[in-house]
């Protein structure tokens, strides 16, 4: 038996150990974890607080701090009025600056939230879809997403310009 952190042996087939998937027929290497998206700014800091104190959220107004998240950037959160319910991050200090500057992917990773919530925050703060961090992230990922032939011809922007010039439309 192979020693590992996770074993599924209903039919004696799966065990994981050090990012490898072991089967009776051999070893398959599992994909490595991607490195976290880069932050342009930072480190971002929350304003000083204690649970039970209040902070001013740029979206919801004054909120009582219920605790701190366990995300890579620990952040104060509150609950809806009346208590209970899901944790709601208090948008203040460094988080507000990050929403204005960083890619949605980076915010999701470092603050432990979903992409939809980042979109809601941006809309509430009047931030456009393209932030400096988003532009950098798109430039990083474009070579992987574009077909080789498109990269040789100058990328997506050049392809769009060629298409517009042949149609005569903006």
| pTM, 2 dp | 0.64
Tokens of 63: 């909120």
Contact 17, 2 (CB under 8 A): yes
Query: Quick check: 116 pLDDT over 60?
Result: yes
Contact 55, 47 (CB under 8 A): yes
For residue range 46-90, list pLDDT tens digits in order.
889 998 999 999 999 999 999 999 999 999 999 987 777 889 999
**Number of C-beta neighbours around residue 121 at 10 A:** 23
Q: Look at residue 19 in the predicted model and tell me its pLDDT.
A: 44
Q: How confident is the model at residue 7 (pLDDT cuts 50, 70, 90)?
A: very low
Query: Quick check: 30 pLDDT over 50?
Result: yes
């Amino acid at each position: 038996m192979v020693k590992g952190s996770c074993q599924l042996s209903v039919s004696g087939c799966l065990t994981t150990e050090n990012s490898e998937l072991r089967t009776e027929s051999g070893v398959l290497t599992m994909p490595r974890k991607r490195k976290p998206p880069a932050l342009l700014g930072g480190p971002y800091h929350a304003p000083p607080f204690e649970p039970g104190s209040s902070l001013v959220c740029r979206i919801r107004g004054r909120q009582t701090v219920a605790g701190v998240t366990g995300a890579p950037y620990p952040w104060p959160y509150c609950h809806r009025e009346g208590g209970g319910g899901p944790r709601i991050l208090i948008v203040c200090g460094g988080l507000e600056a990050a929403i204005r500057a960083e890619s949605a992917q980076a915010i999701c990773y470092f603050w432990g939230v979903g992409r939809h919530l980042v979109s809601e925050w941006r809309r509430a703060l009047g931030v456009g879809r393209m932030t400096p961090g988003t532009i950098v992230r798109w430039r990083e990922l474009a070579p992987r997403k574009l077909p080789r032939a498109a990269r040789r011809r100058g990328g997506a922007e050049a392809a769009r310009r060629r298409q517009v010039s042949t149609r005569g439309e903006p």
